[in-house]
Amino acid sequence: MSKRGYAASKKLLTGLIGAPIAHSASPAMHERAAEALGLRGHYQLIEVAGADAAGLRMMLEGVRRLGFAGVNVTYPYKEAVVPLLDALAPGAAAMGAVNTVVVRDGLLTGHNTDTTGFARAVAPLLAPAGNAVAVIGAGGVGKAIAFALASLGVTDIRIFDNEPARAEKLAGLLVPRGGARVAASIEEALQGATGLVNGTPVGMLPNRDTPVPAVLLRPDLWVADAVYSPLITPLLAAAREKAARIMTGRELAIYQAADAFELFTGLAPSTEVMGEVFDAVMAARSAAYQTA
C-alpha cells in the first residue's frame, strides 16, 4: 500500500509469527510508532509452537488474505518460512533467513531487518583498526548478525554452533562477502577475538543459562546479546563482572522494528518513540518479575 493509502485509511494491521512470543515488545513499539504518524495500528501476536511447513503456509495465507501489511517472523521460523514466500529481497535470499514479510498486491516478500538493525546497533563498538568477532549460533539470528558484521567490513568472523554443519553452511554463504571461519569450540572462537555476539536464544527468560562460560570472558572483549528479555542476560551479567563492554539487545530490537515498520508502510517511524516504548515495556516487565 502506498503512503497515500495509509494516510487515507488510517489503519495498519501487522503482527509477529513465532513461539514463544508473549514477552515481545514489538506490539507496543509498532502500535505507538503508528499512532505517532497518525495511523491506527494493531500488531497481532501469532504464537504457534511446533508448526510444520503446512502450518506455516496456512498462517502466511491468512496474512495474505486478511489485510495485513506484513508480519515479522521470529524464532523458530526465520529459516522455515523462506521457501513458502513469493519473493525474497536480495539480502534475505543471500542468507536464507527472513524476519519481515511484506504483503503487496497479494504477494509475500521476505526481508531481513535483523541484519540492518544489528549493523546500526553494533557499529559504535567496532574498532577502525580491525575486528575479530566470535558469533555464537548459526541459525536465523546468527546468520543476520554475521551478515551485518560482514557489511561493516569485519573480515575475521569466527562462527561456532552446536551443529557444526550449520556453522559450515553459514561460513559458505559469507564467502562472497569477505568470508568467515568455523570454530571447533567456543574457546577457539574467542582466541584473540575483540568481540563476542550471542545469536542464540540461550538466556532468554525463563531460561537462565549462558552460551559462553564466564571464565572465557575478558576485560578487553566487547560482548553483545541479541536476547532482550531480560536486558541483562546471564552472559552480559558475567561480562560486566569482568569489566567487558556490553551491548544489550535493546538497540537491535528497536532498529529492526523501525526498519520493518518502514517496509510495511513506506513511512519512517521515530526510533526515539520506539525506544521510549521499549524502555517502558522492559521496566514494567522487570518490576513484575521482581514481585512475582
Question: Which grid cell is 196?
Answer: 563476542
CB contact burial 114-127 (16+ within 10 A = b; e otherwise): bbbbbbbbbeebbe
Q: Is 77 a catalytic residue?
A: yes
Half-sphere exposure of 124 (CA within 13 A, CB side): 9
φ/ψ of 225, rounded to 5, equals: -130, 130
DSSP reduced 3-state for 254: helix
φ/ψ of 100, rounded to 5, equals: -140, 125
Place of cell 535493546: 250
Contact 224, 211 (CB under 8 A): no
Cis peptide before 269 (omega within 30 of 0): no
Catalytic residue among 6, 43, 77, 255: 77
List the catalytic residues.
Answer: 77
